[in-house]
Structure 1
Amino acid sequence: MKRIDYKSGQGDFRKEEAYIRAQKRIKELKGFYWHAFWYVAVNIFIIIMIGRGSGWNIWHFGTFATPLFWGIGLGFHALGVFGKNLFFSKSWEDRKVKEFMEEENRRQKFQ
């Protein structure tokens, strides 16, 4: 009877799991970028159509209601895809810590 070594399959399983996670991440990114593309394309079209119909008097709430509310939805989509680190990433934190430490060092030199 042949002995099965389950440990040798662990690496393959982890690689496959990582590949599936990467595919999921790519699908999420692709979905967001398509969402952003259609947001820009459709809203340009809407603004042009409203502008042409109103003699280019576009400065009223109705013109910008769709971009505003759709933009809020797009913002939430971005947060879902990129996470809370969209604005406050690890590199941002590191830069701020370094900045505050340098400021503290300058203060100590003058005291």
Structure 2
Amino acid sequence: MNTPNIRHDDLDRLARRRAAARMAWYVHALVFLAVNAVLAALSLSSGRHWAIYPALGWGLGLLIHGLVVWVVLGGGGLQQRLVAQERERLLRDHGR
């Protein structure tokens, strides 16, 4: 990010947006695990192994979501720590 003269309010807003994107991925991953665990249990109890198909499809979506959040935005952590890290990174990148 090469935007000179970025204001503190803009940095804070950007840091919060990035942290929210990471938290959304954490929620997505937890829902993925919970739902697919239930589907796997149902699949095993029926004697068929059909649960792999929704897991693979959804897993691809989770992977793409993760790539966008973690590769494009970089970093990791929980909401407050993410906001602080983003703020520090943005301040450092803009020499403040």
TM bin, normalised by shorter chain, reads: 0.5 to 0.7
What one-letter code is carried by the residue in structure 1 that aligns with 2:58?
W
Aligned-CA RMSD value = 2.2
Count of residue correspondences? 70
* Shift in CA distance, 63/37, structure 1 to aligned 2, threshold 3 Å: same
Q: Which residue of 1 aligns with 2:34?
A: 41
Of the three residues 71, 75, 90, the one matched with 2:63 is 75
More helix as a share of residues: 1
Which structure is larger by alpha-carbon Rg, 1 or 2? 1
| Bigger relative CO (Cα 8 Å, ≥ 6 apart) | 2
The two structures have a TM-score, normalised by structure 2, of 0.65
Q: TM-score, normalised by structure 1?
A: 0.56
The question of 1:21 aligning with 2:9 is answered no
Q: Which residue of 2 aligns with 1:100?
A: none
- 2:18–2:73 contact (8 Å) kept in structure 1: no
Identity %: 24
- Gapped runs of 5+ residues in structure 2? 75-96
Matching residue of 2:84? none
Given candidates 49, 65, 71, the residue that maps to 2:53 is 65
